Amino acid sequence: MGKSSKDKRDAYYRLAKEEGWRARSAYKLLQLDEEFHLFNNVTRVVDLCAAPGSWSQVLSRVLIKGEKFGRAGWEEKQADVRRYVLGDKNSNATSTEKKTDEKAQETTQPKSRDDVRIVAIDLQPMSPLEGVTCLRADITHPSTIPLLLKALDPASDPSSTPTPTNSVDLVISDGAPDVTGLHDLDIYIQSQLLFAALNLALCVLKPGGKFVAKIFRGKDVDLLLAQLKIVFKRVRVAKPRSSRASSIEAFVVCEDFCPPAGFTASLEKPVGVSTMLNDIQSPIIPRTQPGRKVRDDGGVEIELGSEDEDEEDDENSQSDPEKRGIRWIAPFLACGDLSAYDSDATYHLPKDRVSLDPVQPPTAPPYKRALEMRKLAGGAYGKTKLQE
> Among residues 199 and 289, whose Cβ is nearest to ligand SAM?
199
Q: Which residues bind ligand SAM (CB under 6 A)?
A: 22-23, 25, 49-55, 121-124, 138-140, 174-177, 193
Tell me if 378 is assigned to a ligand binding site.
no
> Among residues 139 and 326, whose Cβ is nearest to ligand SAM?
139
DSSP string, 271-316: --HHHHHHH---SSS-S---EEEE-TTS-EEEE---HHHHHH-SGG
What is the nearest approach in angstroms of ligand SAM to the Cβ of residue 103? 37
Tell me if 222 is assigned to a ligand binding site.
no
What is the nearest approach in angstroms of ligand SAM to the Cβ of residue 160? 26
Tell me if 256 is assigned to a ligand binding site.
no
Tell me if 7 is assigned to a ligand binding site.
no
d(CA 168, CA 251): 20
Tell me if 122 is assigned to a ligand binding site.
yes
Which one from 214, 323, 375, 385 is the annotated catalytic residue?
Answer: 214
d(CA 343, CA 280): 40
> Among residues 174 and 310, whose Cβ is nearest to ligand SAM?
174
DSSP string, 43-63: -EEEEES-TT-HHHHHHIIII
d(CA 207, CA 201): 11
> Among residues 120 and 254, whose Cβ is nearest to ligand SAM?
120
What is the nearest approach in angstroms of ligand SAM to the Cβ of residue 30? 11
What is the nearest approach in angstroms of ligand SAM to the Cβ of residue 211? 15
d(CA 50, CA 147): 16
d(CA 59, CA 116): 10
d(CA 274, CA 262): 18
Q: Which residue type sits at 215?
A: I
DSSP category for residue 319: G
Known active-site residue 3: no
> Per the annotation, where are the binding residues for S-adenosyl-L-methionine?
53, 55, 122, 138, 174
**Looking at the annotation, which residues are catalytic?**
214
